[in-house]
């Protein structure tokens, strides 16, 4: 990164711009000073305005609908809101860019909506349209960069004018922006002069609490514990959030008991805080910055200065009162008895001793206050914490030590943004206050790996700028080009009382810091309603907390990369532009992998599903919309050509034989997976149809997991008893080509034949060679040309509205059929997290009594252990040796047919 620091123009979303802030400005900060009790405890909300330009608003479509779509002809596509927390060292900026939902309401969707009884999804009655919440930091002494950023993105145009209305006129000089922190006062004139906006000052403590409440309610893994170098994300139950103790460790420390939204009380504080550490530390060590002082502590040994129990008891523990020999009996206590001067002590040791003294003291007072009010949870934030592993460990240790494990210290991923977020929340009617966890998706743009959670500057404007930045990076920097080995977790040593183990050269000093991504608000996302227990649901099957597992998957993805780049570049015509984008993508994705190898928790709780989705998102960032487009088309054509023969073959079988052949067919055709290295190697050995045949011929039962007989009994019954057919089946389909056409479609056809409505659930966006919901109607239409059952069902499901389908078998049976429908799942990944699916899918699930999850991504990597309220069939071929061994104690190409009755 060294070379980059010299270049002031390399501002990018998530790129370190400059050295650490001038720490002596810390004392100026209000946010970061000990705070005085607020006059009142409820949040004051000033100003009021409509969030959107509602003029000439008109109801679209049917007036009878519960939540009709409202058309806003005068609303521009992108509008933004901005709020600031201007501290002494940092300016924290939270801004929201709202983008109009541009998804096409095609005919398929309309018919599906009618069929499924969806009015307007589950949208609210007011038009919150989704958007993105961005978090950006600037150094306060470089406030010009911040002003330029706001101006370049026109963020100040989204403020309110003096009448409380959304400003429309760029020259309007009555715009008001919410701000908190001392700088809201100090820089008010500067903002007025440079941007023509007035800063509407919000109380800091109100903002802190509002920010913390929003984060804890809206973000799934916001809070984490930090013990002995290990971060563990904690899922906070919304209903069980209050009361808690919020400890803001700034220059001084405030302890706030939070009882609800806008309900809080500052119950205590201490004047021994971050300012004390920095102030005393500066005098004693001559350090030039706060961060330098912190860094020193990492190489320190406090035993040279602190008086330990063992020093008093001749190296022994003081067992009677439970104190080990290594317990600090008196901070700096050794300095009184020795004939030494300040120069005789190492600055590293002084810094560590000071850090421990202050952290333990804060931990202890926090514990006592939590005890006083019967609070179990303590959340720590403020600039003193700033993601510093050692500080977090020390505070955690103190809380655990004093509470005898009864209380937990927790930290927040966005802790630096509490104030700014709170100021943002103080805007009325932005509609974000009651956003739910499942409506937020956090994404990490290409810049994230380079920040290590540090200060960063303006995001780059367009794709070209992004690529140029990547190219510059490749030329200048070499550190992050491939995954680097992960060092053992930095630990504070035994029980927090020993010397911290040095975090060696493999890690940057800020490596353990966490990144803050962009929060995408997707109001149409919902929880899949058929999950038995949302609280117990964990989408990922493999635990990447296991270091060897993480290393395996990161290495594997890194090895796949060059192949993927080739495909992606080819999918865009192999032009020079595509090659440039391909190289930039490779660089960006490698950097993500390296960052995660270095700090697996950097982007929040990490699962395999997140890794695979990150790859797809990174491709999209470089405008590779569908890297496997041509492969998918080729495989679709080849498979459609053999479909008629397969259908005839199937129709000549007994029902029992046919059901087995159908399941075999699904498993066999799941071999067409371009995400598996082993499979891609196979494809060189034959044509699609040859491989499909080979795969089918190898389908020998029993499969490694084989519940087929149970499923058959459910479908066909035993003896003369014919079971009731399923009412509606949701088929979560996987790959294009043979997988969908020769595997899942024939299975769907069989269910339709039984009188079961079938909903094909497919990706909203491309991922590898997975079929998407957009592509399915054409595929179904093609297949329907060869099959009356499919044709009538597809017609009934509204899939054939635009297509002329000539039935080739001549039978022209036009009797009514149960419908075949297609819904999108809301994701663009090979896996599926059922906590966040499209409202369309959630609606379709309401009447479903069978779900079929197909493929490794959806049925094994995720959801293998998921329990459903209805029957579930999980079908997949395992195309990875390690996974086969781990999950089913089997081998690559083994199959899973898991049938689970309703729980
Ligand atoms: C990405 C996938 C989950 C897709 O599998 P599918 O869902 O298509 O069956 C799978 O290809 C995978 O885990 N690939 C990485 C492992 C490997 O190359 O062996
Ligand atoms: Mn797939």
- Ligand 1 atom 17: residue of nearest CA: 676
Distance in Å, CA 591 to ligand 2 centroid: 25
Q: How far is the C-alpha of 563 from the C-alpha of 581, rounded, in Å?
A: 15
CB of 855 sitting under 6 A from ligand 1 = yes
CB of 540 sitting under 6 A from ligand 1 = no
CB of 308 sitting under 6 A from ligand 1 = no
Q: Which of 549, 593, 675, 680 to mutate to test the pocket of ligand 1 (most atoms within 8 A of CB)?
A: 675
pLDDT of 10 > 60? The answer is no
Taking the CA of residue 880 as reference, the ligand 1 atom at the shortest distance is 19
At 738 the pLDDT is: 97
- Under a CB-based contact definition with an 8 Å cutoff, are residues 552 and 475 in contact? no
Average of pLDDT values for 86-113?
72
CB of 680 sitting under 6 A from ligand 1 = no
Average of pLDDT values for 645-652?
97
- Tens digit of each residue's pLDDT (9 = 90 or more) over 314-325: 777 767 767 777
CB of 670 sitting under 6 A from ligand 1 = yes
CA proximity to 591, closest of 43, 32, 1, 183: 1
CB of 830 sitting under 6 A from ligand 1 = yes
- Ligand 1 atom 18: residue of nearest CA: 676
- Tens digit of each residue's pLDDT (9 = 90 or more) over 823-837: 999 999 999 999 999
CB of 735 sitting under 6 A from ligand 1 = yes
Distance in Å, CA 769 to ligand 2 centroid: 6
Q: How far is the C-alpha of 198 from the C-alpha of 899, rounded, in Å?
A: 62
CB of 675 sitting under 6 A from ligand 1 = yes
- Tens digit of each residue's pLDDT (9 = 90 or more) over 192-212: 999 999 999 999 999 999 999
Distance in Å, CA 762 to ligand 2 centroid: 11
Distance in Å, CA 858 to ligand 1 centroid: 10
Residue 689, Cβ density class (10 Å: 0-12 exposed, 13-18 middle, ≥19 buried): middle
- Under a CB-based contact definition with an 8 Å cutoff, are residues 445 and 621 in contact? yes
Most confident of 97-106, 159-168, 333-342, 615-624: 615-624
CA proximity to 389, closest of 598, 221, 229, 511: 229
Lowest average pLDDT, out of 266-270, 595-599, 670-674, goes to 595-599
pLDDT of 74 > 90? The answer is no
Distance in Å, CA 831 to ligand 1 centroid: 9
CB of 673 sitting under 6 A from ligand 1 = yes
Distance in Å, CA 771 to ligand 2 centroid: 8
- Ligand 1 atom 15: residue of nearest CA: 676
Distance in Å, CA 715 to ligand 2 centroid: 27
Lowest average pLDDT, out of 119-128, 234-243, 426-435, goes to 119-128
Strand order of the sheet with strand 78-86?
Answer: 197-201, 175-180, 78-86, 90-99, 131-139, 518-521, 440-443
Cα→Cα distances 864→518, 855, 857, 872, 903, Å:
29, 11, 10, 11, 15
Higher pLDDT, 232 or 813: 232
CB of 556 sitting under 6 A from ligand 1 = yes
Q: Which of 553, 737, 879 to mutate to test the pocket of ligand 1 (most atoms within 8 A of CB)?
A: 879
Lowest average pLDDT, out of 121-135, 371-385, 433-447, 518-532, goes to 121-135
Distance in Å, CA 674 to ligand 1 centroid: 7
Q: How far is the C-alpha of 297 from the C-alpha of 502, rounded, in Å?
A: 10
CA proximity to 108, closest of 756, 752, 780: 780
Distance in Å, CA 28 to ligand 1 centroid: 53
Q: How far is the C-alpha of 539 from the C-alpha of 600, rounded, in Å?
A: 18
Taking the CA of residue 855 as reference, the ligand 1 atom at the shortest distance is 9
Q: How far is the C-alpha of 454 from the C-alpha of 492, rounded, in Å?
A: 22
CB of 615 sitting under 6 A from ligand 1 = no
pLDDT band at 496 (very low <50, low <70, confident <90, very high): very low
Cα→Cα distances 275→250, 341, 442, 538, Å:
7, 24, 33, 42
Q: How far is the C-alpha of 600 from the C-alpha of 554, rounded, in Å?
A: 10
Distance in Å, CA 801 to ligand 1 centroid: 34
CB of 734 sitting under 6 A from ligand 1 = yes
- Nearest ligand to residue 563 Cα: 1
CB of 743 sitting under 6 A from ligand 1 = no
Taking the CA of residue 879 as reference, the ligand 1 atom at the shortest distance is 19
Distance in Å, CA 766 to ligand 2 centroid: 10
Contacts of 641 (CB under 8 A, 6+ apart): none
Taking the CA of residue 876 as reference, the ligand 1 atom at the shortest distance is 9
Higher pLDDT, 383 or 791: 791
DSSP label at 729? E
CB of 398 sitting under 6 A from ligand 1 = no
Q: Which of 607, 676, 739, 876 to mutate to test the pocket of ligand 1 (most atoms within 8 A of CB)?
A: 676
Taking the CA of residue 858 as reference, the ligand 1 atom at the shortest distance is 7
CB of 668 sitting under 6 A from ligand 1 = no
CB of 856 sitting under 6 A from ligand 1 = yes
Q: How far is the C-alpha of 713 from the C-alpha of 730, rounded, in Å?
A: 19
- Tens digit of each residue's pLDDT (9 = 90 or more) over 768-788: 999 999 999 999 999 999 999
Sign of the CA dihedral with 55 first, then 61, 65, and 67 last: negative
Report cis status (omega within 30 of 0) of the bond before 702.
yes
- Give helix 143-152 / helix 188-195 axis angle, nearest 10°: 40
Distance in Å, CA 879 to ligand 1 centroid: 7
3-class secondary-structure state, position 502: coil
At 742 the pLDDT is: 97
Lowest average pLDDT, out of 109-123, 667-681, 796-810, goes to 109-123
- Nearest ligand to residue 763 Cα: 2
Distance in Å, CA 220 to ligand 1 centroid: 26
Q: What is the maximum alpha-carbon separation in the chain?
A: 106
At 172 the pLDDT is: 53
pLDDT of 499 > 80? The answer is no
pLDDT band at 812 (very low <50, low <70, confident <90, very high): low
Taking the CA of residue 882 as reference, the ligand 1 atom at the shortest distance is 19
Distance in Å, CA 616 to ligand 2 centroid: 12
At 152 the pLDDT is: 83
Distance in Å, CA 679 to ligand 1 centroid: 9
- Ligand 1 atom 3: residue of nearest CA: 857
Percentage, residues of the chain above pLDDT 70: 79
At 393 the pLDDT is: 92
CA proximity to 221, closest of 232, 208, 209: 232
- Under a CB-based contact definition with an 8 Å cutoff, are residues 609 and 862 in contact? yes
Q: Which of 610, 853, 856 to mutate to test the pocket of ligand 1 (most atoms within 8 A of CB)?
A: 856
CA proximity to 540, closest of 233, 231, 206: 233
Q: How far is the C-alpha of 539 from the C-alpha of 529, rounded, in Å?
A: 15
Report cis status (omega within 30 of 0) of the bond before 159.
no
Taking the CA of residue 677 as reference, the ligand 1 atom at the shortest distance is 18
Report cis status (omega within 30 of 0) of the bond before 243.
yes
At 49 the pLDDT is: 29
Distance in Å, CA 220 to ligand 2 centroid: 26
3-class secondary-structure state, position 248: strand
pLDDT of 562 > 70? The answer is yes
At 75 the pLDDT is: 42
Q: Residue length, the chain?
A: 903
At 29 the pLDDT is: 37
At 59 the pLDDT is: 47
Tokens matching residue 74: 């005068």
At 431 the pLDDT is: 65
CA within 13 Å, CB half, 522: 20
- Ligand 1 atom 1: residue of nearest CA: 675
pLDDT averaged over every residue in the chain:
82
Q: How far is the C-alpha of 21 from the C-alpha of 793, rounded, in Å?
A: 65
pLDDT of 697 > 50? The answer is yes
Lowest average pLDDT, out of 36-50, 343-357, 467-481, 816-830, goes to 36-50
CA proximity to 900, closest of 709, 670, 707: 707
Q: How far is the C-alpha of 424 from the C-alpha of 669, rounded, in Å?
A: 51
pLDDT of 16 > 50? The answer is no
Contacts of 345 (CB under 8 A, 6+ apart): 304, 305, 335
CB of 619 sitting under 6 A from ligand 1 = no
Average of pLDDT values for 782-798?
95
- Under a CB-based contact definition with an 8 Å cutoff, are residues 515 and 455 in contact? no
- Ligand 1 atom 8: residue of nearest CA: 673
CB of 676 sitting under 6 A from ligand 1 = yes
* pTM score: 0.85
At 100 the pLDDT is: 46
3-class secondary-structure state, position 39: coil
Cα→Cα distances 728→661, 753, 755, 854, Å:
22, 12, 9, 17
Give kind and range of the element (H or E) at residue 519.
strand 518-521
pLDDT of 351 > 70? The answer is yes
- Tens digit of each residue's pLDDT (9 = 90 or more) over 223-263: 999 998 899 999 988 888 999 999 999 889 999 999 999 99
Q: How far apart are the first and last CA of the chain?
A: 53
Lowest average pLDDT, out of 120-129, 322-331, 721-730, 859-868, goes to 120-129
- Under a CB-based contact definition with an 8 Å cutoff, are residues 850 and 869 in contact? no
ipTM of the complex: 0.99
3-class secondary-structure state, position 17: coil
Q: How far is the C-alpha of 255 from the C-alpha of 265, rounded, in Å?
A: 9
Sign of the CA dihedral with 267 first, then 270, 273, and 279 last: positive
CB of 861 sitting under 6 A from ligand 1 = yes
Q: How far is the C-alpha of 899 from the C-alpha of 661, rounded, in Å?
A: 16
Lowest average pLDDT, out of 100-104, 530-534, 705-709, 875-879, goes to 100-104
């Amino acid at each position: 990164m060294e070379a980059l620091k010299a270049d002031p123009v390399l501002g990018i979303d998530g790129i370190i711009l400059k050295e650490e802030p001038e720490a002596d400005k810390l004392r100026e900060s209000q946010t970061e000073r000990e705070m005085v009790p607020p006059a009142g405890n409820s949040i004051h909300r000033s100003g009021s305005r409509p969030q959107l330009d509602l003029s000439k608003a008109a109801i679209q479509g049917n007036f009878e609908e519960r939540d009709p779509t409202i058309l806003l002809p005068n609303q521009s596509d992108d509008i933004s809101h901005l709020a600031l927390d201007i501290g002494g060292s940092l300016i924290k900026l939270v801004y929201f860019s709202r983008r109009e939902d541009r998804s096409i309401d095609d005919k398929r969707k309309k018919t599906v909506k009618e069929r499924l009884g969806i009015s307007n999804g589950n949208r609210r009655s007011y038009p919150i349209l989704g958007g993105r919440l961005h978090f950006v930091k600037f150094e306060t002494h470089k406030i010009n960069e911040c002003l330029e950023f706001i101006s370049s993105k026109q963020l100040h145009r989204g403020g309110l004018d003096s009448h409380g209305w959304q400003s429309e006129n760029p020259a309007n000089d009555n715009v008001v922006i919410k701000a908190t922190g001392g700088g809201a006062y100090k820089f008010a004139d500067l903002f007025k002069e440079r941007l023509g906006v007035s800063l509407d000052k919000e109380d800091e403590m109100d903002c802190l609490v509002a920010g913390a409440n929003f984060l804890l309610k809206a973000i799934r893994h916001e809070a984490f514990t930090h013990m002995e170098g290990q971060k563990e994300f904690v899922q906070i139950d919304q209903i069980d959030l209050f009361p808690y103790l919020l400890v803001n460790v700034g220059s001084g420390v405030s302890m706030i008991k939070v009882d609800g939204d806008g309900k809080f009380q500052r119950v205590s504080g201490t004047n021994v805080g971050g300012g004390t550490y920095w102030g005393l530390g500066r005098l004693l060590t001559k350090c030039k910055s706060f961060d330098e002082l912190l860094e020193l502590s990492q190489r320190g040994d406090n035993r040279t200065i602190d008086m330990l129990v063992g020093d008093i008891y001749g190296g022994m523990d003081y067992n009677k009162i439970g104190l080990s020999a290594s317990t600090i009996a008196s901070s700096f206590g050794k300095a009184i008895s020795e004939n030494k001067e300040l120069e005789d002590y190492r600055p590293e040791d002084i810094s560590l001793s000071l850090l421990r003294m202050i952290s333990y003291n804060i931990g202890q007072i926090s514990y006592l206050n939590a005890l006083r009010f019967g609070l179990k949870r303590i959340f720590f934030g403020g600039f003193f914490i700033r993601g510093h592993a050692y500080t977090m460990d020390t505070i955690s240790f103190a809380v655990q030590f004093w509470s005898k494990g009864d209380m937990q210290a927790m930290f927040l991923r966005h802790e630096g943004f509490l104030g700014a977020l709170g100021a943002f929340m103080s805007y009325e009617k932005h509609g974000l206050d009651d956003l739910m966890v499942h409506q937020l998706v956090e994404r990490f743009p290409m810049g994230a790996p380079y920040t290590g959670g540090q200060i960063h500057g303006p995001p780059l404007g367009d794709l070209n700028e992004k690529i140029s930045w990547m190219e510059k990076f490749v030329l200048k920097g070499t550190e992050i080009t491939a995954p680097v080995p992960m060092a053992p977790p930095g630990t504070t040593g035994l029980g927090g009382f020993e010397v911290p183990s040095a975090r060696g050269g493999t890690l940057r000093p800020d490596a353990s810091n966490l990144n803050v991504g962009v929060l995408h608000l997707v109001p149409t996302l919902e929880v899949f309603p058929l999950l038995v227990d949302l609280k117990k649901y964990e989408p990922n099957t493999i635990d990447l907390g296991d270091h060897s597992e993480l290393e395996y998957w990161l290495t594997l993805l890194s090895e796949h990369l060059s192949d993927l780049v080739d495909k992606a570049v080819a999918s865009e015509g192999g032009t020079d532009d595509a090659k440039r984008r391909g190289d930039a993508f490779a660089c960006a994705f490698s950097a993500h992998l390296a960052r995660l190898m270095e700090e697996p928790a950097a982007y929040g709780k990490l699962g395999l599903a997140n890794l695979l989705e990150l790859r797809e998102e990174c491709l999209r960032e470089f405008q590779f919309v569908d890297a496997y487009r041509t492969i998918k088309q080729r495989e679709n054509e080849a498979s459609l050509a053999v479909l008629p023969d397969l259908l005839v073959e199937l129709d000549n079988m007994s029902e029992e034989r046919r059901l087995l052949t159908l399941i075999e067919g699904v498993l066999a055709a799941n071999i067409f997976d371009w995400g598996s290295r082993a499979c891609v190697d196979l494809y060189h050995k034959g044509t699609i149809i040859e491989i499909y045949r080979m795969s089918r011929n190898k389908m020998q039962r029993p499969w490694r997991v084989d519940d087929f007989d149970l499923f058959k009994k459910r479908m066909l019954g035993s003896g003369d008893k014919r079971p009731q057919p399923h009412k509606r089946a949701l088929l979560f389909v996987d790959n294009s080509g043979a997988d969908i056409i020769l595997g899942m479609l024939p299975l769907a056809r069989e269910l339709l034949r039984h009188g079961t409505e079938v909903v094909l659930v497919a990706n909203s966006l491309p991922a590898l060679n997975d079929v998407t919901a957009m592509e399915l109607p054409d595929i179904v239409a093609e297949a329907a040309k060869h099959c009356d059952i499919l044709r009538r069902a597809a017609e009934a499901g509204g899939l054939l509205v635009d297509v002329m389908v000539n039935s080739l078998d001549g039978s022209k049976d036009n009797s009514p059929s149960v419908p075949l429908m297609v819904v999108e799942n809301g994701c663009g990944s090979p896996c599926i997290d059922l906590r966040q699916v499209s409202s369309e899918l959630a609606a379709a699930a309401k009447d479903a009594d069978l779900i079929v999850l197909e493929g490794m991504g959806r049925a094994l990597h995720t959801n293998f252990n998921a329990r459903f309220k209805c029957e579930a069939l999980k079908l997949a071929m395992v195309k990875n040796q390690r996974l086969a061994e781990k999950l089913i104690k089997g081998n690559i190409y083994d199959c899973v047919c898991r049938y689970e009755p309703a729980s």
